[in-house]
Amino acid sequence: MARSARNSSLETRTARAKLRIRRAPYFAKIAKGLRLGYYRGAVAGSWIARLYRGERNYETKALGIADDTLDADGVQVFDYWQAQEQARQWGERQRLLAAGAARRGSYTVADAIADYLTEIRAEKKPAAVKGAEYVLDAWILPELGAVQVEKLTTDRLNRWRNKIATEPKRVRTKRTADEQATRATPDDDDARRARKATANRILTVLKAVLNRAFHADRVVSDSAWRKVKPFKRVDEAVVRYLSVAEARRLVQTCAKDFRKLVQAALLTGCRYAELTRLKCGDFNADSGTLAIRLSKGKVRHVVLTAEAQDAFENWTIDRPSSDLLFLRADGDAWGASHQKRPLEEASARAGITPAVTFHILRHTHGSHLAMKGVPMGVIASQLGHADTRMTEKHYAHLAPNYIAQTIRANFPVLGIGDEAKVMPLRRTKRA
């Protein structure tokens, strides 16, 4: 960010009030070829910007009212520092226009989104692009799409973020529906935390769009969205996992074709999409590993236990290596979201509430490894985390550690549990 230029004659109301009223503005140099001007009026002054074009040619721009009698609002009334920032943004935009980098006319959030999607389609996997399109279509375009990027304000973006955090949770809507369906959100701490976490993720997508536009010189400044901060302390790890008994009950109540997927998830910690893409040739019986391809752009090898190796050998025996490993009972491949209803039904039959999600199966694998003292780096490698930060966030509290072991070994048994027997005190006789 450019360094702010000081000017003792223009910085404060008191200093400006001492200036003589005249038709010519008072100028302060804020960058090479760029000046901030102040017109001293009888009651209140105003700000202008002046840019040197060469050969004694200048271009000027009226910025707004000075805060001589009114408090600055950053929209129509500006103090010296706000006016200086406005002048810098205008000067930078004129430079970009002259260089052919910035667009002439209005450049809206919708335009920035279109440019963003064009770029990421060449960089990211189709699934990632589809996910971004959903967020952009559902949350960003309806509210902000028509707004010019240079007219975005921090206040506007904060109000948009807060609206997302307080709206009811959306549910899947029929294509023929006229309005978006919503689900009543419980008014408790967990529900509010979840909505704020959702708002943070959507804000991250918007910032990615706008930052691309800024770094490509399509817009002048990123100050409006750079000042918008995510909600704090809403992503604390609340990991739910299944006990060994619950895992067995769940597997036993699944339909035969879906049971294999659930077993594989519990035995490997793989994501649903990773398992549905597996081919028989991805299982290596010699090394006892499973090759997970195209997992976030990488290939990783999941180590299989003896139980997992036996299961995968049974599932792949006498099958071509090019066949999909997991198929539905009708022979079709498992598609996106096909796991949701079978898991809900199996959870109900197994008496597990709330219903299990596929991600909980993944958490179950990681959690049991952590509780057995497996190092975080090993768990990160097994689950395909880029580093140990995500692993530690979710599983470090489950791992045996010095503090927990020391407390449990040294705190005395008080005998105050519900099953403790309370002996009545005997009164001593007085002499």
Q: What is the 3-state secondary structure (H, E, C) of 329-373?
A: CCCCECCCCCCHHHHHHHHHHHCCCCCCCHHHHHHHHHHHHHHCC
3-state helix, strand, coil in the chain (%, to 5): 45, 15, 40
User: Is pLDDT at 1 greater than 60 in this prediction?
Assistant: no
Q: Can you read off the two tokens belonging to residue 318?
A: 């006498």
- Looking at residue 295, its pLDDT comes to 45
Q: Mean pLDDT throughout 258-284?
A: 95
- Looking at residue 381, its pLDDT comes to 92
Do 206 and 143 meet the contact criterion of CB atoms below 8 Å apart? no
Do 219 and 150 meet the contact criterion of CB atoms below 8 Å apart? yes
DSSP character for 279? B
| 93 vs 373, residue with greater confidence | 373
Q: What is the pLDDT of residues 230-264, one digit of tens each?
A: 998 786 656 789 999 999 999 999 999 999 999 99
Q: Which domains does the chain have, with CATH numbers?
A: 13-99 (3.30.160), 109-226 (1.10.150.130), 244-407 (1.10.443.10)
219 vs 225: CA distance, rounded Å: 12
Instruction: Give strand ranges (E) for 157-288.
Output: 169-170, 182-183, 283-284
- Looking at residue 124, its pLDDT comes to 82
pLDDT band with cut points at 50, 70 and 90 for residue 27: very high
Strand 57-66 and strand 77-78: the pairing is: parallel
For residue 126, give the 3-state DSSP assignment.
Answer: helix
Do 77 and 70 meet the contact criterion of CB atoms below 8 Å apart? yes
DSSP character for 176? T
- Looking at residue 194, its pLDDT comes to 85
- Looking at residue 304, its pLDDT comes to 96
Do 264 and 271 meet the contact criterion of CB atoms below 8 Å apart? no
Strand 34-39 and strand 46-54: the pairing is: antiparallel
Q: Which of 208-222, 254-268, 323-337 has the lowest mean pLDDT?
A: 208-222
On the question of a cis peptide bond just before residue 354, with omega within 30 degrees of 0, the verdict is: yes
Share of the chain above pLDDT 90, in %: 57
pLDDT band with cut points at 50, 70 and 90 for residue 185: low
- Looking at residue 423, its pLDDT comes to 59
User: Is pLDDT at 283 greater than 50 in this prediction?
Assistant: yes
| 140 vs 168, residue with greater confidence | 140
Give the Å distances, CA to CA, from 201 to 135, 136, 205, 313, 414. Answer: 9, 11, 7, 40, 46
- Give the containing element (helix H, strand E) for 37: strand 34-39
**pTM (predicted TM-score):** 0.59
Q: Mean pLDDT throughout 357-376?
A: 93
Q: Mean pLDDT throughout 270-279?
A: 93
Q: What are the backbone dihedrals phi and psi of residue 9, each rounded to the nearest 5 degrees, phi first?
A: -80, -20
State which of 124-138, 314-328, 414-428 shows the largest mean pLDDT: 314-328
What is the average pLDDT score of the chain? 87
Q: Is 144 exposed, middle or buried (0-12, 13-18, 19+ CB in 10 A)?
A: buried
Do 87 and 34 meet the contact criterion of CB atoms below 8 Å apart? yes
90 vs 384: CA distance, rounded Å: 46
Residue that has been written with the tokens 């667009």 in this structure: 103
Q: Mean pLDDT throughout 54-66?
A: 88
201 vs 205: CA distance, rounded Å: 7
Q: What is the pLDDT of residues 341-355, one digit of tens each?
A: 999 999 999 999 989
Instruction: Give strand ranges (E) for 67-224.
Output: 77-78, 169-170, 182-183
Bridge partner list, 77: 65
Residues in contact with 40: Cβ distance below 8 Å, sequence separation at least 6, in sequence order: 16, 19, 20, 21, 22, 26
Residue that has been written with the tokens 């028989």 in this structure: 280
Do 147 and 109 meet the contact criterion of CB atoms below 8 Å apart? yes
